[in-house]
Amino acid sequence: MIFASDLDQTLIYSRRAFRLKEGEAEPEITLVETYEEREISFMSNKAIELLKEVSSKMMFLPVTTRTMEQFRRIAIFQNDIVPSLAVTSNGGNILVNGKADEDWKRQIEKKIDGSSLASEDLLKNFSRLAREDWVLSQKTADELFHYCVIQKDLAPLDELADFRKEIECQGWRMSLQGRKLYLVPECVNKWDAVAYLKEKMGKTFVAAAGDSLLDLCMLEVADFAIAPLHGELAETALNPGRPIHRTERQGIQAAEDILRAVLSAYEAQNK
Residue 222's φ and ψ, nearest 5 degrees, are: -65, 155
Which of the listed CATH numbers 3.30.1360, 1.10.3120, 3.30.160, 3.40.50 matches domain 117-185?
3.30.1360
Question: SS3 for 263?
Answer: helix
Query: What does the alpha-carbon distance between residue 263 and residue 52 come to, in Å, rounded to a whole number?
Result: 11
CA 183, 226, 85, 98 torsion-angle sign:
positive
Q: Are strands 2-5 and 59-62 parallel, antiparallel or unpaired?
A: parallel
| Cβ neighbours, 10 Å, residue 99 | 9
- Where does CATH 3.40.50.1000 sit in the chain? 2-108+187-269
Fold (topology level) of 2-108+187-269: Rossmann fold (3.40.50)
pLDDT in tens, 9-67: 999 999 989 988 888 888 999 999 999 999 999 999 999 999 999 999 999 999 999 99
Mean pLDDT, residues 150-154 taken together: 93
Closest CA to 222 of 206, 240, 200, 243: 206
Query: What does the alpha-carbon distance between residue 114 and residue 117 come to, in Å, rounded to a whole number?
Result: 9
Query: What mean pLDDT, rounded, does the chain reach?
Result: 94
